Chain A
Amino acid sequence: MKITFRGFIYGISSAPTLILAAVMVSVTLYGTLVTWAGTDASAWVVLLSSLGTSQSIIVFGLLWWLVRIHAVAKWATNELVLVRSGSRVRALGGAVALALGELLATGLVIAIVSIASAPWRWHNEWHFSGGDQAIESFFTRPLTALLATGVYAAVAFMLVAILLFSVALRHGAQWAIGVSAVIYAWAAMSSFGVTDDVAVLDISRAFTLPWALTTGSFIFPLLLLAVAAFIAFRRVRVLDHFAHRRSWFAFDSRLAVLLPMLLSFVFAALAFVSMEHATQGELVVAFFAGDGGDLVLYLAAMGLILTGATVAIAPSVSSAEDRYTEESIRDGSARRWFTRHAVVWFLRSFAISAGIVLAVLAAALIVQPGTMAADLSRDAFIVFVRVAVQVFFYASLGQLLLWVAPIAVAWPTTIATALVLGYPFVLDLGDANVFAAFSTIHEGLPAIADWNSIYGAFACAVAAVIATAMRATTNRSPSSVRYQTG
């Protein structure tokens, strides 16, 4: 972020950016005063037809970009920067962030000066365009098409940058110059139509969206993208970098608590777009319909609850797997180890559940605003109690399993069983459905004091806690000190 901002500051005041901006202004002015003179075409159509051609993007844009990123590549291959970054992968990340900042700065400058030099007609319609048919049939508005063209070119530019940075980091900056010369020559020839007869060689499709739509094929740009990413990753050994980092996907980190909330917000926001309900409270209740709703909403809600439970017990699992002996000696006894972790998983369960319900509620308020119900907090509370009991149930079950069977096998099996038994494929458990106890909400909102529907799950959770306590405090080690076969 900081590096991107630095790149933005470099880019906005640099000479190459200003030269490119001047070229783009002259191209736009030519479009305004000559090509589109005497028509009623909107500014967006003029901009798209002048800046969106493969000549503007490749002959001028790519040339400027290669000059800019050569400076960045030289910066990234400097020994001091490499040492400070710690690895080639991190140096690549820094270079990409810097280049992104410069690209954003230039995009901003070009947007301002080109809009100023375009005809001042801001209607957002295609008529009188008479231009490219393919992009008109693809996008309903010229402004959208213009933005899409910009993003498409930016993605291609960043990809070229990543490829060149990785070549530079692996073999030195002078190799990157050779590669960029080849890329530029090839792209420029393509943009002037040299390769039109041999469409496979037409690399300009990877940079220019209108041209890609006209020729009607994205396969080649996609293939190029895959090849470039493959070469880049292979050059700097990105896979090796991640493969030996133990903390990758560290669900036991504090930040991981945010994952269920993020998922809740995304799932709920998407689901609420198609739902037409009167109040947000009803939306929240409908999202947690359980086996009374359709299979997809059921899976979404169960997915959130199981993710929440996984995050809640992850610290205990990693402690038990890696350093149970050391930690229990340090705590003084197995009982103290257990008590400490029991408090953590209890508190985490309830905090995560509150986060899930609040995220769903926030999604409801944002997607369907303005229908605030008086008893919103009551509805949300009723759902919260049920979600919290369910998360706590699975977290406790996981804790018990940790002492009974290798957790890596036991936990996926538990998830499989829960997903099948919670939804009435096989058995309709009704009020005894402890696997998706929130299901009973669909039969009408229960009173706050109505505990019948969640009593089963809560009782099971308490039983699991007691069983775990007995097992964990009687001189036993967790079952999966290390996962082993045979």
Chain B
Amino acid sequence: MAEVLVSSKFEAKPQVSRTLKLWILLAGAIVGLLVVSLWAAVSGVSSSVFRTEASLVGAAMGGPIRILLPIVATLVCAPQVSAILNNRFVVYTRTRASIRGSLGKSVLVLVAQCFLVFFVIGSVLTAVAYWLMPLWFPSSVDPSLYNLTASEALASEASIAPLVNVLINHGAFAYVLSVGLWSAFHAVAFGLVAILAAILISRVFIAWLIPTGIFLFQSVMLQVLDFPAASFIGSATYPSGLSNFSLGQALLALWVLMFAAVATLTVIIFRAPVMDRFA
């Protein structure tokens, strides 16, 4: 059995360029998530009538992506960190490069990837839901069914989904970008938590579940405690709710997570030269 173990572990594999592989993985994540979200959006849109195009965006951003955000952010950010720590890559690299520098660089690159993935997904989904879906399903948007004019419908939508104010004040293009930025910043916060978990917890099986655990726990607790706007399930991809939605609460949740993650990660990078984890 020993031979089987060794040969399966160290078998020579055809080498693909690392960068190419990375781009294929990222593109796969984007396309896969987009396909699932669009499928869910189409199956929702084809059977109901919305009051404005903006409510259609809310429905598209309220599908599977709402739950998948922390998991995908983890799978984008955590593997590389776990790999360099568990393969003793760091130990060999440290003789040639400063650990602070290399760790900081990895974190920046991973955060940028995470940002890119969710910015693309958020803005593409919004653009499709705002411009294309009303063309595919012409009967899916009808404010008169709600006894509203188009502008009244937009105003009432803005009271439950605050980003619609961007649409009213700055136009559709800014709206699409703002939704992309909103979900990208939330994904970055969870990506940072994933990096942190991968550094602090050496058992990978557990470490990669931490961001999703925080997401689910925080969402259930705050929803049940009647602060739905501050729960990540209600605001991480697209802030919207059934009654008046306070953007302040949603931003507070993001700010707290981001602050905690950035502060702890800064301390870790700063202390990296003397931490046992990197030795």
Contact = CB atoms under 8 A, between A and B. Distances in A.
B86 A310 contact: no
13 contacts: A239-B267, A239-B268, A243-B276, A246-B203, A251-B203, A296-B219, A303-B213, A314-B205, A419-B67, A420-B67, A477-B5, A477-B8, A485-B83
Interface stretch (B36-44, B138-146, B164-172): B36-44
A242 B87 CA distance: 20
Contacts of A425: 40, 63-64
A307 B220 CA distance: 14
Given A243-B276, A416-B68, A426-B40, A409 B4 contact: no
Contact of B71 (A230, A415, A426, A486): A415
A412 B71 CA distance: 7
Interface in B184-217: 199-210, 212-213, 216-217
A309 to B, nearest CB: 11
Interface stretch (A135-143, A163-171, A266-274): A266-274
Contacts of A230: 263, 267
Interface stretch (B94-102, B221-229, B243-251): B221-229
A482 interface: yes
A348 to B, nearest CB: 16
A425 B202 CA distance: 35
Chain A interface, DSSP helix/strand/loop, else mixed: helix
B40 A486 contact: no
A245 to B, nearest CB: 9
A258 interface: no
Contact of A296 (B43, B75, B86, B224): B224
A483 B204 contact: yes
B12 interface: no
A299 interface: yes
Contacts of A475: 1, 4
Contacts of A295: 233
A303 B216 contact: yes
Interface in A4-26: none
Contact of B9 (A239, A407, A426, A481): A481
B233 A296 contact: yes
* Closest 7 pairs (CB-CB, A-B): A244-B276, A485-B83, A408-B204, A270-B224, A243-B277, A416-B71, A296-B223
B242 to A, nearest CB: 10
Interface hub of B64, B86, B225 (most chain A Cβ within 10 A): B64
A485 B200 CA distance: 19
B100 to A, nearest CB: 15
Interface hub of B203, B217, B223 (most chain A Cβ within 10 A): B203
B67 A299 contact: yes
Contact of B82 (A244, A299, A334, A408): A408
Interface stretch (A80-88, A126-134, A276-284, A317-325): A317-325
B105 interface: no
A318 B206 CA distance: 10
Contacts of A246: 202-203
B74 interface: yes
**Which of under 10, 10 to 19, 20 to 34, or 35 or more describes the interface residues of B?**
35 or more
A267 B216 CA distance: 11
B80 interface: yes
B43 A426 contact: yes
Nearest to A334: B1
B72 interface: yes
Contacts of A266: 221
Contacts of B201: 248-249
B20 interface: no
Contacts of A310: 209
A411 interface: yes
B208 A412 contact: yes
Contact of A299 (B18, B216, B267): B216
Contacts of A328: 1
A411 B67 contact: no
A300 interface: yes
Given A244-B277, A411-B209, A234 B267 contact: yes
A415 B212 CA distance: 9
A413 interface: yes
Contacts of B224: 267, 270-271, 273-274, 296, 300
A476 interface: yes
B72 A416 contact: yes
A240 B267 contact: no
Contact of B205 (A321, A477, A485): A321
Contacts of B274: 237, 240
B36 A420 contact: yes
Contact of B212 (A234, A250, A412, A426): A412
A306 to B, nearest CB: 9
A39 interface: no
Interface in A388-427: 407-409, 411-413, 415-416, 419-420, 425-426
B41 to A, nearest CB: 9
Given A239-B275, A249-B206, 18 more contacts: A234-B267, A234-B271, A239-B200, A239-B268, A243-B276, A244-B275, A263-B217, A296-B220, A299-B220, A303-B220, A408-B204, A409-B79, A411-B205, A411-B209, A412-B71, A415-B209, A416-B68, A425-B64
